[in-house]
Amino acid sequence: MKIVILTGAGISAESGVPTFRGPDGLWEGHRVEDVATPEAFRRDPVLVQRFYNMRRRFLLSGAVHPNPAHLELARLALQPGIEVTLVTQNIDDLHERAGSAGVLHMHGELLKARCEGCGETSGIREDLEPATICPECGEAGRLRPDVVWFGEMPYFLEEIGRAVEAADWFVSIGTSGLVYPAAGYVSVARDAGVRTLEINLDESATSGIFDDSLRGPAGEQVPRWVAGIIAAR
Ligand code: APR
């Protein structure tokens, strides 16, 4: 059985990582145009670096841990006869910390930097500053967070599209369904005859397209869903 799982900020909410939209969301405190576009980075790299430095520090602070939803998805992928493709819009590393391998980070990763000079990516756990030197080419001032900003092309699109069309199940967890192309995968799945399930605390913008839904916190609903699949086999 092939399962494609798409996760969004909601899966990490119970780990203490803020979501984007909603009362305490990151986009309530920051304007997207100021911190998450290539134009913003050209205009004020220090401000943009600071925004991601704060998020990276928090992620590495020891206060953030994978929750049962991340852990159960990793367990699901280990079941014989089940092939999981895990796609995430999240830039945190909580799926990896939970034990998932080969996660497709379509919006990039907070713990990676990319050099606008040589194009290489490198692991990063410290703050990025304008003077930070690229470990690959040695140039200063060309590193940026390896995250996909608004107006940029997400990663792995061909691979994800092929996996969705070939899946038996498409499961979307904790995403508002407002940001494309991720929000369009449920329609791709439906058009390909793939069964679709949404797990979310609330209605999302695409709830009406899914065959089935489980409402509630991911930390409760995901373990229940995974246990059901394993029990049924
Ligand atoms: N369990 C399940 N779902 C939850 C939980 C929870 N504990 N808490 C919140 N949610 C749901 C909300 O109901 C909402 O539908 O998670 C979703 C979070 O939505 P967003 O904040 O919009 O996050 P996401 O969908 O991942 O955003 C997509 O937008 O700004 C960009 O690049 C950013 O990757 C991000 C993209």
pLDDT in tens, 2-39: 999 999 999 999 999 999 998 888 887 888 888 999 99
- Verify whether ligand 1 is closer than 6 Å to residue 145 (CB atom): no
Q: How far is the CA of 80 from the centre of ligand 1 (A)?
A: 30
pLDDT tens string 183-215: 999 999 999 999 999 999 999 999 999 999 999
Extract the tokens encoding 111: 């713990």
Atom of ligand 1 nearest to the CA of 14: 7
Q: How far is the CA of 233 from the centre of ligand 1 (A)?
A: 31
Rounded CA separation 138/19 (Å): 35
- Verify whether ligand 1 is closer than 6 Å to residue 133 (CB atom): no
Rounded CA separation 83/15 (Å): 26
pTM of the model: 0.97
- Verify whether ligand 1 is closer than 6 Å to residue 14 (CB atom): yes
Buried/exposed code over 18-56 (b: 16+ C-beta within 10 A; e: otherwise): bbbebeeebeeeeeeeebbbeebbeeebeebbebbbebb
What average pLDDT does this structure show over 114-125? Answer: 97
- Give yes or no for residue 71 having a pLDDT over 90: yes
> What residues contact 22, with CB distance under 8 A and at least 6 apart?
28
- Verify whether ligand 1 is closer than 6 Å to residue 183 (CB atom): no
Q: At what angle do helices 218-232 and 68-77 cross, to 10 degrees?
A: 20
Q: How far is the CA of 18 from the centre of ligand 1 (A)?
A: 9
Rounded CA separation 62/67 (Å): 14
Extract the tokens encoding 134: 């690229």
